Copies of this chain bind each other. A is one copy, B any other.
């Protein structure tokens, strides 16, 4: 609840054009890309600069009003759903690429920059920002940092965390701190840069970031290997890595996903095979050619029924685009799409895919699986209907079992989507009571009034759904 007095204070800071508490305005920001979560904020505020963010946070801290920072709301963990009301903080004015530094290979940005715009801007200078979440056309870099987003190139290049080297952060107190710098090495104090990356807006509001860039790879090749046996595809993944080849991308799509993606994208994907691996390598031409050749051999040794290298960049881009469209394609099947990202050590990919299929059978639900096989980061996806409560219950049980299996195999409940509200009840599976309580202690230390994206990451005990039966 925002009192009239508080509202007037906030209006004084941002002006009436940047404060919206109309029903329509609030409705738009009452949900994000996560199905089944909706909750109205009290107001939507668009600060114009860091000091306005700091002023807003100070007021909210003293009035105990929740703040939910939000980029484009593409996250899949209900991380930006204002589940406890309060204000949604938009970054539409903080949307500038401040500097591309070609001597130090860095880019400094405000959080509201669209990821793809950033990627294009640095590529125009022969530089490369590798993290490429599937939502990059609309996601913001601020959202990527808060969620520690991954993407298709994570296997070789790592995730968002590996590129963030400096942050400007507004703390819950309204104080502004700066971490890191344009520095390859910096051990002055605790690594707050990485602590804040992936903290889902619960520890502070990120208002500026400096990202590391790398030289643009000289060339890139894309290949597709088809399998009539899912395990053979999974084994290929392990064998490529064990042969000490680290491709840029090593994506897996199972048959149900293939069918849906092809129907949607029509790029000529086969739909009569059990699984496909989409493999890319980038780098100097000689190395790319050699790696593609060696990977072709490995695919054949592992009984791929066909291995083809894309002949043109147009063809390769079509394949990549089709893969990136997997979620949108699957989302057309049924009113509700539950997409997860249970992740395992890559040596366990075959076991995990098999377990997912067994679990889907057991609970009689449809689960399509695709994902970043090279990272062990799978996206089991269930097209369903939230209005069918009986089915939803089976879906939920199936995913709970998937999470438990991932943990059993040495994995995690989320590889790149974040915990948010959606995965909070399962976090204890991964971290144990002691781990969660240590993280809660850090949260309380930095946000004693719990105003920063409350209700995320840590589940309220009453909502706990997990029953460990071991």
Q: Is A347 an interface residue (CB 8 A)?
A: yes
Within 8 A of B (CB), among A351-397: 372, 374-377
A374-B184 Cα distance, complex, nearest whole Å: 9
Using an 8 Å CB-CB cutoff, how does the interface string of A283-303 with B read, 1 for contact, 0 for none? 110110010000000000000
If A187-B419, A434-B176 touch, whether A242 touches B103 (CB-CB below 8 Å) is: yes
If A171-B438, A434-B171, A435-B178 touch, whether A343 touches B192 (CB-CB below 8 Å) is: no
A428-B250 Cα distance, complex, nearest whole Å: 45
A416-B417 Cα distance, complex, nearest whole Å: 32
Q: Are A345 and B104 in contact (CB under 8 A)?
A: yes
Segment among A83-91, A193-201, A326-334 that sits at the interface with chain B: A193-201
Q: Are B104 and A183 in contact (CB under 8 A)?
A: no
This chain's copy number in the assembly: 2
If A186-B415, A284-B286, A438-B446 touch, whether A347 touches B103 (CB-CB below 8 Å) is: yes
Q: Is A282 an interface residue (CB 8 A)?
A: no
Using an 8 Å CB-CB cutoff, how does the interface string of A174-208 with B read, 1 for contact, 0 for none? 01111101111111111110110111000100000
A-B contact pairs, 10 of them (CB 8 A): A154-B184, A159-B184, A184-B376, A188-B427, A190-B199, A192-B438, A215-B246, A286-B286, A286-B287, A441-B446
A residues at B contact (CB < 8 Å): 101-105, 126-127, 147-148, 150, 154-155, 158-159, 161-162, 171, 175-179, 181-192, 194-195, 197-199, 203, 214-216, 238, 241-242, 244-246, 283-284, 286-287, 290, 343-347, 372, 374-377, 410-419, 423, 427, 430-432, 434-436, 438-439, 441-446, 457
